[in-house]
């Protein structure tokens, strides 16, 4: 049963008892009847000049939207606009664009295709479909298109959180609050356009489908299809399988506890349906160019020793902002669960705990915990509010809300970079398109004076230079550090940390050009200015370029 976006929960349509109106949601007045007419006031004096027929909603019923939907649309629109005006991040995205372009030319490689020092390194492109999508958007609409895609994904995810909560609880404010909470908690992740956002969208979609798995037949093809797509968009599909696994184990545990017999689990038809559906979803992920290798690659990915240098791949700590967000979310969740009259199923707990554990083990995985935490909090908060007699305000359908929704969509679209591009053909300027850290001017300089031979570059700029730098530029590393040979990555760290023999390392690799950022490599830039072997050839507020005075010829 798909989510019906045009109706509010059925119980609110008929609720008209003013005596039950208590709590903040009662602020809405119920003086209007369901067809939108206005009753005469008491005392028998007719309204002067009012023509009732003019106020009749003539919109076809199927086109009428609810106030709830309008509110959520406003939130989604804000999210769209907020994320689409953000500059494109300087890493990740550009790397995926570069690999996507290579994919279009040469097909899926089995070894790293773009970094000369990573030749021969095994390469499983678990985001190939996302890469193609990004390239397609870039080619069709340019930078504005990419910004628009970021906005669309942000809005989509807010919608995937808010709409099911609104439908399930009937509480507009709660749904919008949850959407906002999601935005706040995942703002850092949502601000970077990369395949992970597509994975997150699939995760949210799968959460919705798993909720209705017991009641709907369509999920038998919807979920496997989603997982098959997901496996080609991003490697997070394995996290997605935690949801049904938690449901299965939780349901089995609850069933056994309720009946007092473990073997009763074997007779739970719904449980077995869940098992079969999970099996189907897991097998569907084999529909990728890498088949079972994809699973091996994803499961062993975090063991790559190169990743230990990246903070994203380190365990979560309270000192980090993400850790503090996690702690606050956890405390709120605990408080709500403690006071909620709703029973917490074992499956729910298992899912929360396993995602929390994953997030603690690896900061990068924390983003999957937040939507589940928000969803759980919303359900329990709804139960709590209902027990405290906080009635759900009705959300009548009316044509005016449809008009408002269209208007909102148009306004948000029209004032976004995507809208400017589609409607007026305008692209944002490079300074508005790119983050402050992106080496825009340096890249322009490198196009004018292409480097000869091996380049040593800041890792954070590797993706941008790969996608936008001169063709054939031989970069040292990019953000795909797991693809760099161990020795190369160690040597990179030695150079940027100015460790022992750093200068000799540049000689060993025949590096003739060095491109460094000032934000993190200012010390190295100053040292290089003192080195006789190197000449500063370009410098701006973001970074510097050095050329070797006597080129190492090969």
Partner 1 sequence: MTATKTAARSRFWRAALVTQLACLAVVATSLAWAYSPAAPLRHDSSPLLAVPSVPVPPRIEPLSISPLYDDPEVVSDEELAQVLTKIQPRFPKESLKANYVEHALRTWSIHAKFKDPAVMSGEQMKEFLTNHGQFLASWGEKIKPILEDRPDGVAIRWGKEACASVHHDHWLASLTEAGVSLHEPVFLPGGKQRNIGDVLRQSLLDFHVDEVEVEWSAMAFGLWLAPVNRWTNGQGRKIDFDLLAERLVRGHQRFGVCTGTHRVYSLMLLIRLDDEYKILSPVGRDLAWKHLEFIRDQITVSQMEDGHWPSNWSDGAAALKNPVDDELYKKVIATGHHLEWLAIAPKELHPPREQILKAADWVIATTNAQTDAEILGSYTFFSHVGKALALWRKTQPHVYFEEWEARQGTSGDEAPTLK
529 makes contact with partner 1 (CB under 8 A): no
105 makes contact with partner 1 (CB under 8 A): no
Are the C-beta atoms of residues 21 and 29 closer than 8 Å to each other?
no
218 makes contact with partner 1 (CB under 8 A): no
Least CB distance to partner 1 at residue 510 (A): 5
- Contact with partner 1 (CB under 8 A) among 57, 322, 382, 491: 491
For helices 242-259 and 346-361, angle between their N-to-C axes, nearest 10 degrees: 140
Locate tokens 């790119």: which residue?
Answer: 434
**Minimum CB distance to partner 1 smaller for 507 or for 540:** 507
Residues of this chain, 251-290, that bind partner 1 according to CB under 8 A: 269, 272-273, 276-277, 279-280, 283-284, 286-290
Locate tokens 């359900």: which residue?
Answer: 379
CA distances from 187 to 79, 154, 193, 244, 548 (A): 10, 9, 11, 27, 42
Please count the other Cβ atoms lying within 10 Å of the Cβ belonging to residue 64: 19
**Minimum CB distance to partner 1 smaller for 323 or for 453:** 453
508 makes contact with partner 1 (CB under 8 A): yes
Reported as half-sphere exposure (CB side, CA atoms, 13 A), residue 65 has a value of 16
What span, in angstroms and rounded, lies between the C-alpha atoms of 154 and 82?
9
Token duo for residue 198: 């597509």
119 makes contact with partner 1 (CB under 8 A): yes
Length of the chain: 554
Q: Please report the sign of the dihedral spanned by the C-alpha atoms of residue 321, residue 327, residue 329, residue 331.
A: negative
Token duo for residue 330: 């956890």
Least CB distance to partner 1 at residue 531 (A): 15
Decide the pairing of beta strands 511-517 and 397-398.
Answer: unpaired
Residues of this chain, 123-162, that bind partner 1 according to CB under 8 A: 125
**Minimum CB distance to partner 1 smaller for 118 or for 172:** 118
120 makes contact with partner 1 (CB under 8 A): yes
By C-alpha distance, which of 200, 239, 198, 202 is closest to 224?
A: 202
**Minimum CB distance to partner 1 smaller for 120 or for 425:** 120
Strand residues in 489-542 grouped as ranges (E):
511-517, 534-539
Least CB distance to partner 1 at residue 415 (A): 43
Locate tokens 């545990």: which residue?
Answer: 253
Q: How far apart are the first and last CA of the chain?
A: 65
Region near partner 1 per CB under 8 A, out of 119-127, 183-191, 315-323, 417-425: 119-127
For helices 128-169 and 195-211, angle between their N-to-C axes, nearest 10 degrees: 40
- Contact with partner 1 (CB under 8 A) among 52, 188, 262, 296: 296
Least CB distance to partner 1 at residue 508 (A): 4
486 makes contact with partner 1 (CB under 8 A): yes
* Chain mean position to CA 243: 18
**Minimum CB distance to partner 1 smaller for 34 or for 291:** 291
Region near partner 1 per CB under 8 A, out of 117-125, 167-175, 207-215, 256-264: 117-125
Region near partner 1 per CB under 8 A, out of 168-176, 348-356, 425-433, 503-511: 503-511
List residues binding partner 1 (CB under 8 A).
107-111, 117, 119-122, 125, 224, 269, 272-273, 276-277, 279-280, 283-284, 286-293, 296-297, 454, 485-488, 491, 507-510, 552-554
């Amino acid at each position: 049963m798909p989510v019906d976006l045009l109706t509010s929960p059925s119980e609110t349509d008929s609720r008209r008892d003013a005596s039950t109106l208590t709590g903040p949601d009662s602020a809405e007045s119920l003086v209007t009847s369901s067809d939108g007419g206005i009753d005469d006031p008491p005392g028998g004096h007719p309204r002067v000049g009012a023509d009732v027929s003019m106020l009749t909603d003539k919109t076809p019923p199927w086109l009428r939207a609810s106030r709830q939907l309008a509110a959520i649309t406003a939130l989604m629109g804000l999210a769209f606009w907020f994320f689409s005006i953000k500059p494109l991040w300087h890493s990740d995205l550009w790397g995926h664009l570069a690999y996507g372009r290579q994919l279009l030319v040469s097909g899926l490689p089995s070894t790293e295709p773009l970094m000369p020092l990573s030749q021969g390194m095994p390469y499983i492109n678990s985001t190939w479909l996302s890469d193609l999508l990004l390239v397609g958007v870039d080619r069709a609409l340019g930078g504005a298109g990419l910004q628009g895609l970021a906005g669309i994904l942000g809005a989509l995810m807010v919608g995937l959180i808010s709409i099911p909560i609104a439908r399930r609880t009937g509480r507009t404010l709660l749904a919008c609050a949850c959407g906002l909470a999601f935005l706040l908690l995942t703002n850092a992740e949502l601000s970077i356009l990369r395949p992970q956002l597509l994975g997150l969208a699939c995760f949210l979609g799968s959460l919705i489908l798993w909720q209705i798995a017991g009641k709907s037949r369509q999920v038998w093809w919807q979920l496997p299809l989603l997982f098959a797509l997901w496996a080609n968009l991003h490697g997070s599909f394995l996290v997605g399988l935690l949801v049904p696994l938690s449901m299965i184990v939780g349901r089995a545990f609850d069933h056994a506890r309720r009946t007092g017999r473990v073997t009763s689990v074997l007779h739970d038809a719904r449980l077995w349906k869940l098992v079969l559906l999970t099996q189907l979803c897991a097998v569907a992920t084999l529909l990728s160019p890498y088949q079972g290798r994809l699973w091996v690659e994803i499961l062993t990915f975090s063991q790559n020793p190169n990743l230990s240098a990246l903070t994203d791949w380190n365990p979560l700590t309270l000192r980090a902002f993400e850790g503090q967000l996690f702690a606050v979310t956890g405390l709120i969740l605990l408080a709500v669960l403690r006071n909620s009259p709703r029973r917490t199923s074992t499956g729910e707990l298992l899912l929360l705990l396993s995602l929390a554990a994953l997030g603690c083990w690896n900061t990068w995985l924390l983003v999957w915990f937040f939507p589940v935490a928000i969803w759980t909090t919303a359900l329990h908060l709804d139960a709590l509010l209902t027990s405290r007699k906080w009635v759900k305000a009705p959300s009548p359908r009316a044509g005016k809300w449809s008009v408002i929704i269209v208007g909102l969509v148009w306004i948000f679209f029209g004032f976004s970079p995507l809208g400017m591009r589609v409607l007026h053909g305008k692209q944002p300027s490079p300074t508005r398109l790119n983050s402050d850290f992106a080496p825009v001017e340096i890249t322009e300089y490198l196009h004018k004076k292409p480097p000869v031979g091996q380049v040593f570059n800041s890792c954070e700029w590797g993706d941008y230079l790969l996608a936008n730098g001169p063709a054939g530029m031989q970069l040292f590393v990019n953000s795909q550090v797991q693809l760099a040979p161990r020795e190369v990555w160690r040597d990179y760290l030695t150079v940027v940390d100015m460790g022992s023999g750093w200068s000799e390392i540049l000689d060993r690799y025949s590096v003739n050009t060095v491109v460094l950022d000032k934000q993190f490599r200012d010390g190295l830039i100053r040292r290089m200015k003192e080195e006789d072997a190197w000449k500063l050839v370009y410098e701006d507020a973001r970074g510097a370029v050095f050329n070797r005075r006597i080129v190492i010829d090969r």
